Each structure stands twice: as C-alpha cells, then as structure tokens.
Structure 1
C-alpha cells in the first residue's frame, strides 16, 4: 500500500472512484431498462450541453488550486517573517474576492448560452421525447455548482483536501442513489437534473465547512499588495481558458455532435460508452489530482527532488490503472456483443472502442504532463496544445458530420495519438531540459 502512495485524502478519492466503478454498471442497467434508445440519446446530449460549464470555468479552478497552494505555504510557516505571512494573506484575499466575482458572472453566462444552444439543437429533432423541463432545471443546477467552484478550489489548494474528498465521496454516493430512484420511478431525463443538483448541494456543504478559513481573509481584502490578478493569475489563466475551450470542443461533445448532424438514436451508444470511459479516466486521474497540491507545495518550498520523485511514482500508478481498466472494458464489450445482442446497440462496437481508448490513453499522458508543468507555477504547454486540439477538433467535428460515430472516434484517435501527443511531449521534454539546466546539481537529480 505504501507503493501506491495512499493517504486519507487519496483514500476518499479512491473510495469514490471504486464506488463509481461498482455503481456504474448498475446505472447502465437502469438506463437501458428505463430509457428508450432516443431517450438515451437525449440523456447524453443533455449531459454534453451541461459540460459547457467548462467553457465558462475557463481553466480557472485548476489555476486557483495552484495559486492558493503557493499562498497557503507561507500563511502559518515559522520559517518566514511577518511580512511574507502578510503578503500571503493578501494574496489569498485577492484570490477569493476576484474569483467569486468571476465565477458569478460565468455561471449566469453559462446558463444563457447552454439553454440557447441546447434548445436550438434538440428542438430541430422534432422528437416526442419530453426533454424541455429536465433540461432547463439541469442547466440551472449546473450554474449553481459553477458559481460555488472557486471556493472549493481555493480550499483544496489551501490544504482542505481530506475534507473536500470525503464530502465528494458522499456526493458521488448520494448522487448515484438519487439518479437510481428517479429512473426506477419513471423520472427518465430528470435524472440529469438530479445528478447536478446533488453536486451543487454538496459543493455548498464544502464551502460551508470551509467558511472559517474563507472568512479569515475578509478583513485584509482590498489592501495594497505586490500580488495582482492581472500579473500573477491572468497570464496563466487566459492560456488555461483557451486550452479549456479547445479541449472541450475536441473531446467532450461527441454525443452532441452526432445528435446535431444525425440523430439521437445514433448518439445513444456513444454517450453510454463515453460514461464508462469517463469513469476510467477519473479513476486513473485520481492519483495525479490528489497529489497535485502536495507537489505544487513542494515546488513552492524548493523541494524539487522530492516533488519530482513523487510525481514520477504517481504518474506510473495512474497510467497502469488506466490501461488495466480499458482492457477490462474492451473485454466486457466483446462479451456483450457475443452473448447479449439485444443490448449491444447501447454501446459502440469493439473496433470503435479501440479507437476511443487509444485517444484516451494519449489524453491521459497529456494531462499528466500538463499538471506537472502547472505545479511548477509556470504557463502550460500552450502553443503545441492549441495546435493539437484545434486539429483534433476539426477532425472530430468533420468526422462526425460526414461519418457519424466512426468519423468522431477516428478523428479523435488520429488527432490525439498522431498529432497532439507528439507535439505536447516534445514541448514537455524541452521544458524539462530548460528547468533542469537552471537548477542546482542537487535539485537536478529529481
């Protein structure tokens, strides 16, 4: 267990992922038994539209984790003087105040855009499926969750990881139960609202639990500081924002693309397969995500060797988990195709899954590289990422327009494996060479 680098916060995250892995098949059974194929298509189409919140989060949540982690490192340290502690307090106050305004505006804008785009996309299908009310309420619940995001991100970076991951575990647990109950009672597409409503409630609980820390900086907000949003946050954030947008366009709208250009029936298997793939990605990413604040803090404290060793170990475990889970899912899809032909149309074909999985492996490697760079409190690998994601977006959207599911997944695999990953890895290795060259011989041994 020591080799897995488990601590209490990671244990809660893994418990949530394990629960998702166990609950996932149950949810799929309920969806298959409760929804028709067109309803399944709309179900995942709505979830895809709700994913627009990433456009309006603009990568700021991850930046806030990094920035608050660096600020928190000197808040109560006995190794720094009072002036440094005061400066850290002012930085934290500025992060809380400015991000609160930013996300409040973003939440409202998200609701307007998501409703407009979703209504236009779904209404053109002229379907008998009753999607209107569930869709509207789901958008509003997502907007509330988005508005609370900066506070939970700042708390995570400031060291409240165990509390946050514990409550996130209860969120996942209760979210699944509520969705199951709705599906069993005939709630159908209202399950999309339930999932996001539960997330909004638990995010509110996290903010309430951390209110003492957040309120601690009210008295220092607005006082002079060398730290500024425009100089210290915005240069990193705008790059993350652009990356967030092109990433979402390239990877997160597969069912929406197929619904828009073809039909909800064709989108259904892509959506259900994507749900399993996403659970696998989240499980693998858990190791990196929960260790990220620690690694950022180690870099902030100058412990480069320890940070590098922890990151390499974390990345290795994360990749092994992803590969094993993807192989297991492939075997399950082959088994369903061979022995359960009545439900095989709810998932993509095994060959399509190979293309999907190849792209996901590439995306996971890219995510690990990007997180390490961000933990060094520097800009992400911007230019190669933008080039790769833009090309992948073009391949995915044109592929979906011309060839439906086959086109989407082929474009995704080609764009990520042959273009995005090589470009990103080249830039990442160049970054590592530059940073090692500027470190002392002892630090370079990481």
Structure 2
C-alpha cells in the first residue's frame, strides 16, 4: 500500500529527499517564526530579516551559472554514464567538455566569491549603518561572519550543481537537510541563550563546514575531471557554449533579487526595522512554502533535460504534468493552511502573532505564492531546453515590482503587497503561460 501511495504521489528517492529537505525548511522556518519574536525585540527582528534579504545579493555575483551548470551537465550526461568506481564512461569528447566546464567554473566562482565578500559586504554595512537604528557594534560582527560564510558557500555552488546535473539530486538534497538541521538547531539554541543577531550566523556557518567536508569525501568525480587532460578540440568554449544561455539566465537571476528580496530592505528604509520585521517574516513563510511546493519540479529537472536531449517529447510532457499538479496542490493547501492558522493563533491570544504582517497582506502573498508556483514550474520546463525565454518577463516584472516596492513601502504593507500581487497575477503569470505554450506545443 505504501509503495502504491508513493507511486501515486510521484515520490522516488530524489523527490523524497528534496521534499524532506524543503519540508524541514518549512518546519524550521515555522519554528524560527515563533522563536524570533520571543527572543529578539522588534528592532532586532527587522535587522534579522533585512540581513537575510541582503545576503541574497549573492545572486548578483553568481550570474546564473548554477542553473547553466545543471542544464548543461544534464544534457551531456544523457549520453554518458557513471560506473561503479564513480568514473565517467562514454564519448570522450563529452567527457572533455564536462572536464573543461568544471575547470572554468572553479576559477569563476572563486573570483565571484571574493567580489561578494568585499562589495556586497561593504554595501550592506553602509546600508545598515545609514538606515538602521542600532549601533554598529550590535550587528557588524554578525554581518561580517554572515558575508564571509556566504562567500565560501558560493565557491561550493558549481560542485553541487554539477552533482545535481549528474542525477544526484537526492544526495545533494540529503546534504542540505543535514546542514539545515544542524544550523537551525544551533541558531535556536543561540537565540534562547541571548546571542541576539549573532544567532543568524549559525546556519550559513553550518553549511560552510558540512558542505566542505562532504565534497572532500564524496566528490571524487569532480576531482577526477579537474585532473583530466583535455583535448583542446573538445574543450567547451564559454562564448560559444555557455554565454548565449548564461547571459539571459544571469539577467533573470538578477531580476529575481528585485522581485523576491528587495521589498524587505525597502520597508526597512522607508518604515523602519519593526515594520520590516513584520513583512520579512511573512515573506519568509511564503518563500519557504514556495520552496517546498516546487520540490517535485526541481527534483525532476535533470530527468526533463535528459528527455529533451533524447527527443522523448511524450515522456517529457507526461513527467511535467505529473510534477506540476503535485506542486500546485501542495502549494494551494499550504497557503490555505497559513491563512487559517495565523488568525486562529490571534484568536487564541498568542501575542507573538502580531509580529507578522496582518491577514490581508498574508492573503495577497498567498495568491502571489500560488501564481509563482506555476511560473517557477513552467520556467523549469522551458529552461530544461537550454534556452531562457523568461528574460523579458523577469526584467519587466522586476522593474514594475521595484517601483511598487519603492512607492508602496511609503504607503504601507497592504498597498505594497497589493501592487506586488497584482503584477504577479496580471503580468508575470499570463506572460509566462504564453511563452510556455510555444514549448508545450512545438511546431511540427
């Protein structure tokens, strides 16, 4: 019976591990939502969520290469296999292409990590100093550690994306689950011991330590490819093979920062740390829901790319319909549950619930989260073709939401959330669906 239920739900090891990892993120996010108002005063809560949004600036330095790696490796691996010794077998030219990709990425990500630590760290510190209400001594040390650990984690991104492209989605998801459990347990303990904003460092530090150890003991294939001698005729050419896809992904990723991360710092700047904390808490809840809701789609992305590389259109569409329906059902159910639980806690007199945005704001964010589930899923399907049709959608949505965040944050959380949700429902979603039809119904 359990096996039949797993087949009905479309859950294999990779989906299960991804669901467990992202499901834990909802549980951890929920407990954090409860603990932060208990152990941080309103001003520090605002700093906590603003700092979390500012670390999202790493998107500006990654330039979309993680997504490019996943798709490129998946397409190459459709014609290769990994033997019992963890070595690649198959066409030598494709092995050389993967080896050249690994070497190129290692150089770029080390450079990008150094840039992030210096530029984003400095810009974030200036922003918090200029707009904040706390003395630098209460947040600067935590911000520096957070930036350094995030920079180190950025150097690990290509290795993890490479392993996911090789079909090891479940193994990477299991690592992320362990990281999150260790990091959040440490953070909650630090909060209860009165560590204040220093507690925010524990999750990225745990990720740094555990990822480094895991890659040293597990990523034998990556190390082999780094040492491999490459025939220059087979080497991957960045301008020819990556740049046409990457620059579009990079601009879409940059736009994603303005769409999902900018609003909380805008509220911090315009309405103060306390209001930023309320809105940041609400966004954290729905971002966690979106992350878990799209687990089915994300876990099957390498499989979609493999079907495309092998021209298996019917299998591709059947797979996508299944994962989309499961992702959407989960997201709708989760959003409805949030809208029931929050007012129920208020009715029971749980005063900490007042530290989250009011119910009308939550309802608007729930609508946006549901629409984004469809947008994320359709984008994953299209990007599995190694193209990025979402660029104009992302740039336009980012521009509109930036204006909405700047103007709306002056008026209030409800007005800003209404503008954000309206743009998502009336611009981003229909435009994405129009693009998706071209891929779901290719010309004969």
Matched position secondary structure for 1:165: helix
Q: Which range moved further: 29-38 or 121-130?
A: 121-130
Aligned to 1:295: 304
* Other structure's SS at 1:220 match: coil
Q: 2:65 aligns with which of 60, 83, 93?
A: 60
Q: CA deviation at 1:173?
A: 1.3
- Give distance in 2, aligned partners of 1:162 and 1:277: 24
> C-alpha deviations, 1:106-125, integer Å up to 9, x for none?
11111222222211221122
Alignment pair present for 1:180 and 2:185: no
Report the equivalent of 1:75. 80
Matches within 5 A, 1:10-409: 10-76=15-81, 85-124=91-130, 125-128=132-135, 130-217=138-225, 218-221=227-230, 223-225=232-234, 227-340=236-349, 342-400=351-409, 402-409=410-417
| Partner of residue 443, structure 1 | none
The two structures, once aligned, show a CA RMSD in angstroms of 2.1
- Take 2:115 and 2:65, find their aligned partners in 1: how far apart are those partners? 16
After superposition, the C-alpha distances for 1:224-255 in whole angstroms (9 at most, x for unaligned) are 22642211211111101101111211221222
1:411 to 413, 416, 419: 419
Q: Distance in 2 between matches of 1:138 and 1:215?
A: 28
Contact 1:355 1:409 (C-alpha < 8 Å) held by counterparts: yes
TM-score normalised according to structure 1 size: 0.92
Q: 1:319 to 1:103 in 2, by over 3 A?
A: same
d(CA) in 2 for partners of 1:357, 1:316 = 18
Measured in 1, the distance between the counterparts of 2:326 and 2:82 equals 32
SS of structure 1 residue aligned to 2:134: coil
Tell me, which stretches of 5 or more residues in structure 2 are unaligned? Answer: 1-5
Give the Cα–Cα distance (whole angstroms) in 2 for the partners of residues 115 and 90 of structure 1.
Answer: 37
User: 1:250·1:396 contact (CA, 8 Å) conserved in 2?
Assistant: no
SS in 2 for 1:6: coil
Unaligned runs of 5+ in 1: 439-446
Q: Secondary structure at the match of 1:240?
A: helix
Moved over 4 A (4+): none
SS in 2 for 1:348: coil
Deviations 1:327-381 (A, max 9, x none): 0001112113323262233111110111111222222211111100111222333
Contact preservation (8 Å) 1:333, 1:349:
no
Give yes or no for contact 1:256–1:267 (8 Å, CA) kept in 2. yes
Give the secondary-structure state (helix, strand or coil) at the position aligned to 2:386. Answer: coil
Deviation of 1:431 (Å)? 3.7
Q: How far apart, CA to CA, are the structure 2 residues paired with 1:256 and 1:142?
A: 19
Number of residue-to-residue matches in the alignment? 432
